[in-house]
Copies of this chain bind each other. A is one copy, B any other.
């Protein structure tokens, strides 16, 4: 049965947009009111297409609907794959009034959003995230982009969707490893800004891991609301928004070291949050009990607690040096002032970072 459970508005002035969360929405919820012209290009991948593409097409009755099916995986988040979207748009003669639709996880969303930002200098787009990670993270906030061999997400744009449609039914086909990866970002919201939510997650983690749909819908809603609040306060990442990167500086280094696609983004963020908590404790910002609390909830979500075999402190230092948060060559990290409150700092002691890296790299 199709049912809307939550609606949320991301408040960005004339770029505001709604997030609609519910059950069995795909194929039943009419998305044509968000399409300005007569053309739609749905971008998805080989894994999602057989499951949901037909239903997504049914969400746009009466329009010219074309599709592009990309290979699945972070390793394809590059220019060559992005260009397949441009090829399809030009071959099918999509005008600057076309609407792009991202149907899939974060990679599809980031690439489709970037294609929408760049095609004929910008066209509208709609997000239909089908993984937990993309539902709670990459569908909110307007960050789009692709990877460069020297760094993740180095090439991109801020481009807001016109609407985000989240169907919890699409999680029933998600591998458990990807559920855990999504939970990493869910836990993050509790850690950076919402202690109540963290306590709720500690109580409900078993239901979430077991894919209880009501618990998942609640977690998605509270995560999106938290991210929407942060993004509304700081759309361009001038300050506050950087706290959303808790665990991401260590995590990006892990992903780059492992090779894109070998570690899931959420897995790397999970380990990264444990490392950030360890460093926060060494800095005297949180207690050892708090550090354990972070480690426990991350592990209960089924996430790895250590970086990959063979990754050294030097690997971390070299890869973290190109992080986008750095300013004029100075490393900036997101740490925990308390559990439930993150801060961005360039002032952590180098010896503490050295100790954290030494502890985890062995």
Instruction: Determine which of B37, B145, B148, B156 lies in contact with A90 in the assembled complex, contact meaning CB atoms within 8 Å.
Output: B148
The answer to whether B157 and A93 touch across the interface, beta carbons within 8 angstroms, is no
Q: Of all chain B residues, which has the CB nearest A323?
A: B95
The interface on chain A, measured as residues whose beta carbon lies within 8 A of the other chain's beta carbons, has a size of 39
Q: Of all chain B residues, which has the CB nearest A91?
A: B150
**Given A83-B79, A97-B327, A97-B328: A157 and B118 interface contact (C-beta under 8 Å):** yes
A143 to B324, CA, bound (A): 25
A313 an interface residue at 8 Å Cβ cutoff?
no
The answer to whether B143 and A121 touch across the interface, beta carbons within 8 angstroms, is yes
The answer to whether A121 and B157 touch across the interface, beta carbons within 8 angstroms, is yes
The answer to whether A329 and B95 touch across the interface, beta carbons within 8 angstroms, is yes
A97 to B326, CA, bound (A): 9
A215 an interface residue at 8 Å Cβ cutoff?
no
Please indicate the chain B residues that have their CB under 8 angstroms from the CB of A119 in the complex: 154-155
Please indicate the chain B residues that have their CB under 8 angstroms from the CB of A150 in the complex: 87, 90-91
- Type the 1/0 row for A114-141, where 1 means its CB is closer than 8 Å to any CB of B: 0001111110000000000000000000
A binding-site residues for B, Cβ under 8 Å: 37-39, 79, 83, 86-87, 90-91, 93, 95-97, 117-122, 143-145, 148, 150-151, 153-158, 236, 321-322, 324, 326-329
